[in-house]
A and B are shown apart, each in its own frame.
Chain A
Amino acid sequence: MRDPAAALSPGVVYTETVVYSAPEAYVNDAPYQIAIVTLDQGPRVTARILGERVSIGDRVSFAEYRQGVPYFRKRAD
């Protein structure tokens, strides 16, 4: 198990979707993008994407945790 507070390495988008029909807890966030990211460290995580939309194969970097959920954003390089 990874330490839930530790910063995550950058990674690559394995798959993604933009959610329009949200569960009750996230209705106000919709539409939002989530992605499964393959971390350079090895494992995959399901994360929220901040800012610009990403596609499969895009490099992303870890931004922050919000209530235990990792947020990533597209890398500039």
Chain B
Amino acid sequence: MRPVAVVAIGKTAFGAFPDRDLRSLAVEAGRKCLEDGRITPAQVEAFFLGNFAGPSFVGQNHLAPYVASGLDIEGVPATRVEAACASGGSAFFHAFSAVAAGLYDLVLVVGVEKMTSQPTPKVTEILASAGDLAGEVKAGATFPALFAMIARRHMYQYGTRREDLAAVAVKNHANGAKNPYAHMRKVITLEQALAGKPVADPLSVYDCSMISDGAAAVLLAPLERASAFTDKPVRVLGIAQTSDRVALDEKPDITTFPAIRKAAEKAYRMAGVGPADIEFAEVHDCFTIAEIIATEDLGFVRPGEGGPYCSQGCTARDGAKPVNASGGLKAKGHPVGATGAGQICDVVAQIRGQAGELQLERHSLGLAQNLGGSGATGVVTILSAV
């Protein structure tokens, strides 16, 4: 296996864009990425598209060549990867695998989702199709409901407080307010977060990521060729994707995501680093409880300690281990298929020192964690300066 680098990134703003369709968003992110890497579409040797539910949200299938041809990329393998909310991270994982194996040199990943053309109950229904339709979904579980049940159990087992969940929202909104690409650029107070409209008890609107449109793109190349495309290559030091059960009621303990634990273990081993070495992380806060559990599953703290870890400020911009300095899914928005690729873009921008107002002080070793559904797919990526 040869060393692989991220040599270019590009993304659209995340938000509600009634005048933009799926393809134009994906093409915008892809073009920006190719420009960033100073390469032409003809140089791209393979294309991976991360997309969760384009066929349901906008009715379009055969999406990978559809987007690739919009970028003038033709005559190469163009493949759509679907892994629920981890579609973007999984597409990146497969692109990495192909470059590491020596199949291709230049591989482009685009993640995209166009969600806001559907009314909220329909979006809720489409998102729920990432759960077990024959069981939990049929009984009336939505994604907020699944994570609400996870939150309830975490609170019961570990004493996690409602205020700990709210602290995640307050922190991520504060971070997102500085992010020009974020869907929601609004600072909120703890009182506001606690008084939000209920979605699924104990989660309110402030505990849930937003329904958004958007796209993000990443270009991968062998490390030995990276300097041809960028002055600041970022190495993929460790990466792993793992799977777990889809139905929540089949998991022995719903307060942890084994797919993330296993992916993290493998990624740390591959990278030769441990949780304590990671300087900052972008984690999958589709709901506030998910960020709390992510900090536990990634080994930043022990099981049950994720709530106080955030409430005490350890994961703030100026804390010991900044988590979601970008604003996270909570504030940036969560265009499902774009999210994983967007996280890689955010970590790469930090490592390059090009994160603008979001720039962190310590930024040479970062981690991205992308979760699919209620935990059936986990992707963990560790990125470092070269």
Asked if residues B153 and A22 are in contact (CB atoms below 8 Å), the reply is no
Asked if residues B249 and A45 are in contact (CB atoms below 8 Å), the reply is yes
Interface positions, chain A 49-77, Cβ under 8 Å from B, are: 56-57, 67-70
Asked if residues B199 and A21 are in contact (CB atoms below 8 Å), the reply is yes
Asked if residues A47 and B139 are in contact (CB atoms below 8 Å), the reply is yes
Asked if residues A48 and B125 are in contact (CB atoms below 8 Å), the reply is no
> Hey, which chain B residues are within 8 Å of A40, CB to CB?
none
Interface positions, chain B 277-327, Cβ under 8 Å from A, are: none
Interface residue B149 (Cβ < 8 Å from any Cβ of A): yes
Across the two chains, which residue of chain A brings its CB closest to B137? A23
Give, as a whole number of angstroms, the nearest-CB distance from B196 to chain A.
Answer: 11
Give, as a whole number of angstroms, the nearest-CB distance from A66 to chain B.
Answer: 10
Asked if residues A15 and B152 are in contact (CB atoms below 8 Å), the reply is yes
Give, as a whole number of angstroms, the nearest-CB distance from A32 to chain B.
Answer: 6
Asked if residues B149 and A36 are in contact (CB atoms below 8 Å), the reply is yes
Give, as a whole number of angstroms, the nearest-CB distance from A61 to chain B.
Answer: 17
> Hey, which chain B residues are within 8 Å of A16, CB to CB?
149, 152
> Hey, which chain B residues are within 8 Å of A29, CB to CB?
140
> Hey, which chain A residues are within 8 Å of B202, CB to CB?
17
Asked if residues A34 and B125 are in contact (CB atoms below 8 Å), the reply is no
Give, as a whole number of angstroms, the nearest-CB distance from B251 to chain A.
Answer: 9
Give, as a whole number of angstroms, the nearest-CB distance from B283 to chain A.
Answer: 22
Interface positions, chain A 2-46, Cβ under 8 Å from B, are: 14-27, 29, 31-32, 34-36, 43-46
> Hey, which chain A residues are within 8 Å of B27, CB to CB?
none
With A14-B153, A23-B124, A56-B156 known to touch, is A46 a contact of B199 (CB < 8 Å)? no
User: Once the chains are docked, how many angstroms separate the CA of A32 from the CA of B138?
Assistant: 13
User: Once the chains are docked, how many angstroms separate the CA of A26 from the CA of B125?
Assistant: 10
Asked if residues B139 and A20 are in contact (CB atoms below 8 Å), the reply is no
Digit string of B90-128 for contact with A (CB within 8 Å is 1, else 0)? 000000000000000000000000000000111011001
> Hey, which chain B residues are within 8 Å of A67, CB to CB?
138
User: Once the chains are docked, how many angstroms separate the CA of A52 from the CA of B142?
Assistant: 21
Across the two chains, which residue of chain B brings its CB closest to A20? B198
With A15-B149, A15-B153, A20-B200 known to touch, is A44 a contact of B141 (CB < 8 Å)? no
User: Once the chains are docked, how many angstroms separate the CA of A48 from the CA of B137?
Assistant: 11
Asked if residues A44 and B250 are in contact (CB atoms below 8 Å), the reply is yes
Summed over the interface, the residue pairs from A and B with CB atoms below 8 Å come to a total of 96
Give, as a whole number of angstroms, the nearest-CB distance from A44 to chain B.
Answer: 4
Interface residue B150 (Cβ < 8 Å from any Cβ of A): yes
Give, as a whole number of angstroms, the nearest-CB distance from A54 to chain B.
Answer: 11
Asked if residues B150 and A23 are in contact (CB atoms below 8 Å), the reply is no
Across the two chains, which residue of chain A brings its CB closest to B198? A20
Q: Which of A17, A45, A68 contacts B145 (CB 8 A)?
A: A17
User: Once the chains are docked, how many angstroms separate the CA of A36 from the CA of B252?
Assistant: 12
Interface positions, chain B 177-220, Cβ under 8 Å from A, are: 197-203
Interface residue B148 (Cβ < 8 Å from any Cβ of A): yes
Of A19, A31, A47, chain B has the most CB atoms within 10 Å of the CB of A19
Asked if residues B200 and A18 are in contact (CB atoms below 8 Å), the reply is yes
Give, as a whole number of angstroms, the nearest-CB distance from A11 to chain B.
Answer: 11
Interface residue B135 (Cβ < 8 Å from any Cβ of A): yes
> Hey, which chain B residues are within 8 Å of A34, CB to CB?
136, 139-141, 145, 149
Interface residue B16 (Cβ < 8 Å from any Cβ of A): no
A-B pairs, top 5 by smallest CB distance, nearest first, are A17-B148, A23-B125, A46-B136, A24-B121, A15-B149
Supply 5 A–B pairs (Cβ within 8 Å), ascending by A.
A15-B152, A17-B201, A21-B124, A23-B142, A43-B249
Extra A-B contacts (6), CB below 8 Å, given A24-B122, A46-B139, A56-B152: A14-B254, A15-B150, A24-B121, A25-B125, A46-B136, A67-B138
